[in-house]
Amino acid sequence: MEYRPDANGEEVDRWKEVTLVYNSALKEVGTKLEILNDEFQHVHQYNPIEHIKSRLKSPESIVQKLRSKGYESTIENMVEYVNDIAGVRVICSFTSDIYRIAEMITEQNDLTVLSVKDYFQNPKESGYKSYHLLVTVPVFLSNRVVDVKVEIQIRTVAMDFWASLEHKIRYKYAGNAPEHIRKALVRCASMVSNLDDEMLALNREIQRLEEEEKRDKNKD
């Protein structure tokens, strides 16, 4: 059942209900990710997830997004047309972890994937890289079960560092940053990409050496 706010309630109560439901969806997704990470550690002795960040979009940002799309600032439009009210950011060490984590998420039977945006393979013009999943997660209320949209972003530590600065600059200049700053961000994005590639290669080399050591010990 797709989530719909109570049409008969007072505006303040309706907003409280929306906040409650989206916060609950964040808890559901966060718990799932923590369990998957713990299981991966148990099976493979490795944690693909460094840390998890969750956030609810601010009312100001929601209104701004609705206006940019040409919609009135109503709670109904917010729920219908703003897909990233509830956001979860999954930070991993290596680029190889991105698709591993995405696969673990999509294999959850009670999550429904609505869309995928792979900015890792197809970066934005700014240099932005990340992997976005829009999913619905069931939230169990006292009188019904509702499916709530959550956007999950998966990126490396280096990508997240770059994206955090880019986000601040974009909002500071309302999307019209000076040309030299935009060019510097693109250069930094290229450096981040190269760093991720180097770190992945280094990690694989370490793993290869560890496997050789194990084989040598077994021979002895």
Note the pLDDT tens digit of each residue in 68-121. 999 999 999 999 999 999 999 999 999 999 999 999 999 999 999 999 999 999
Cα gap 220→215, rounded to integer Å: 9
Cα gap 99→79, rounded to integer Å: 28
Is 151 an active-site residue? yes
Report the run of H or E that residue 90 belongs to, with start and end. strand 86-92
Cα gap 175→84, rounded to integer Å: 19
pTM for this structure? 0.89
The sheet with strand 145-156 has its strands ordered as 49-56, 86-92, 145-156, 131-140, 112-118
Please state the rounded mean pLDDT for residues 25-35: 96
Cα gap 93→33, rounded to integer Å: 15
SS3 call for 204:
helix
What are the structural domains, with CATH classification, of the chain? Answer: 11-158 (3.30.460.10)
Q: Residue 218 pLDDT more than 80? A: no
Q: Which residue has the tokens 């560890």?
A: 210
Catalytic residue among 17, 107, 151, 205: 151
Helix, strand, coil abundance in the chain, percent, nearest 5: 55, 20, 25
* 135-178 tens-digit pLDDT: 999 999 988 899 999 999 999 999 999 999 998 888 888 778 88
φ, ψ at 133 (rounded to 5°): -120, 125
How far the first Cα of the chain sits from its last, in Å, is 61
Instruction: Give the DSSP letter of residue 57.
Output: P
